[in-house]
A and B are shown apart, each in its own frame.
Chain A
Amino acid sequence: MNKRHLLALAFVVSLALFLIACSKKEETTEQPAETTTAVQPTPIDQSTVGEVTGKVSFDGTKPKPHQIMMDQDPACVKAHGGKPVYAEDDEVNGNGTLPNVFVYVKSGAENYTFAAPSDPVVLDQKGCMYDPHVLGVMVDQTLKVVSSDPTTHNIHPMPKDNREWNMSQPPGAAPIEQKFARPEIMIPVKCNQHPWMRAYVGVVKNPFFSVTGSDGTFSIKGLPPGTYTVEAWTAVGGTPQTQDQTVTIGPKESKTVDFSFKAAS
Chain B
Amino acid sequence: MASTVLTPPKHRAPSKSDSIGGNGHGWDGDGFGGGRGEPSPAGRPIPLHAYRMGMYMALAAILMVFAAFTSALVVRRGISNDWVPTALPGLLYLNTVILLASSATLELSRRALTAGRGEAFAQWLYATLVLGLAFIGGQLLAWRELVARGVYLSTNPSSSFFYLLTSAHGIHLLGGIGGLIYLVLRARRIVSAAKQRTIVEIAALYWHFMDGLWIYLLLLLTVRS
Contact = CB atoms under 8 A, between A and B. Distances in A.
Direct A–B contact in the complex, CB atoms closer than 8 angstroms: yes
Interface of A: 1-2, 5-6, 8-9, 12-13, 15-16, 19-20, 23, 25
A5 B137 contact: no
Interface string B191-202: 000000000000
Contacts of B141: 19, 23
Q: Interface majority SS on B: helix, strand, loop or mixed?
A: helix
Interface residues of B, number: 17
A2 B122 CA distance: 12
A75 to B, nearest CB: 41
B162 interface: no
Contact of A2 (B133, B147, B181, B188): B188
A5 B140 contact: no
19 contacts: A2-B187, A2-B188, A5-B122, A5-B184, A5-B185, A9-B185, A12-B133, A13-B181, A15-B133, A16-B137, A19-B136, A19-B137, A19-B141, A20-B136, A20-B137, A20-B140, A23-B137, A23-B141, A25-B147
Contacts of B187: 2, 5
A25 B133 contact: no
B60 interface: no
Contacts of B126: 8, 12
Contacts of B144: 23, 25
Nearest to B139: A23
B44 to A, nearest CB: 29
B130 interface: yes
Contacts of A25: 144, 147
Nearest to A16: B133
B161 interface: no
Contacts of A8: 126
Nearest to A15: B133
Contacts of A2: 187-188
A167 to B, nearest CB: 30
Given A23-B143, A23-B144, A25-B147, A9 B184 contact: yes
Contacts of A15: 133
